[in-house]
Each structure stands twice: as C-alpha cells, then as structure tokens.
Amino acid sequence: MNQLTQKERMLLQDEKAHEEICIQKYGSYAVQVQDQQLRQMFDKHRSDEVQHHQTLTNILGQGGQSAGGQAAGGQAQSGQGSPSGGAAFQWNAANVGQAGQAGVNQDVMLCKDLVVTETFVSGAYDTAIFQVTDPQIRQTLEHIQKDEHQHGADLSGYLKQQGISG
C-alpha cells in the first residue's frame, strides 16, 4: 500500500468534511420534515453518511492504507449533529416563504437542498477518485460515490412523486 500524498490527504479530508455536512443536514432535516416517508429516507441516508465518514476517518488514520471496503453497511452512530460534535444546521419555515403551506414547502425545500448537496458531494468524489492512486482506496471511494448517487436518485424520486422536478 502506498502512503497518501499531501494532495490525496487533502482531498480525503475535504470529503470527510463534506460527509460531516451531510450528516448534519440529514439529521437536522429528519426532525423538521412533516412527511414520515421523507423522515425515514433522511434517517437512512444519514446512517450511510456516518459510515462514509468513518471509512474516510479509517483511511486517513491508516496513513492512506485501504480501509478494506468499509464504505457500506455496518452500524451507524445515533443522534443528531456531526461526529465532531458540531451544531446541526437548522432550516426554519420562515426561510421557505408562505406560512400557509410551510410544512409542505419546507419538506420540498429541504429535499431540494439535499439534492444540491448530494450533487456537489458526488462531483467532489469524482475529483478524488481520479487523483487517488491506490486502487483499493479508489474502489472504496467509488463505492461511496455510488451511495451518493443513490441518495440523489431517492431524493429526486421523492420530489417526482410529489409532482415536483428536482
């Protein structure tokens, strides 16, 4: 196994920070949405993001040696907020617009925000995948990116069910 270069380490640290943001958003948004189906989706995606974060932590902690496919499955941490103890992002209905449909609008806005977030995170994984030279780490990142793609598809599918384009 090769040690990470400074550039590879920086890219993986960025991905780890992106995963923290996803964990915060999914955790915070899950308690804010009105739709139970959306809440369950957010909780599941949050668990995936916690596992991604742990996988990246393991890779970085091993000096770049592969974490051996720990990107999916396994137990996730419980609770809200980031693994580092940061405060969760809070989206208020006042940020959404009309108070008459605040619950529905808020659910849609939170879901759309997560589509944008997942799109950004997936693009960042593209860069990391192309830059990392260790084939096992690259494979692990590809697996995480596949999960991010699935999250985006789930979110877009929910919006489509609601008659809203993502």
Per residue in 8-42, pLDDT tens? 999 999 999 999 999 999 999 999 999 999 999 99
Percent of the chain with pLDDT over 90: 68
Q: What is the mean pLDDT of residues 80-96?
A: 43
Is 68 among the domain residues?
Answer: no
Total domains, the chain: 1
Structural domain includes residue 1: no
Domain range for 30? 6-62+101-161
Task: Give a yes or no: residue 89 inside a domain.
Answer: no
CATH number reported for the structural domain that contains residue 130 in this entry = 1.20.1260.10
Q: What is the dihedral of CA 54, 43, 38, 151, to 10 degrees?
A: 20
SS3 annotation, 36-97: HHHHHHHHHHHHHHHHHHHHHHHHHHCCCCCCCCCCCCCCCCCCCCCCCCCCCCCCCHHHCC
Establish if 71 belongs to a structural domain.
no
| pTM given for the model | 0.77
Which of the two residues, 66 and 32, has the higher pLDDT score?
Answer: 32
What single-letter amino acid sits at 24?
Q
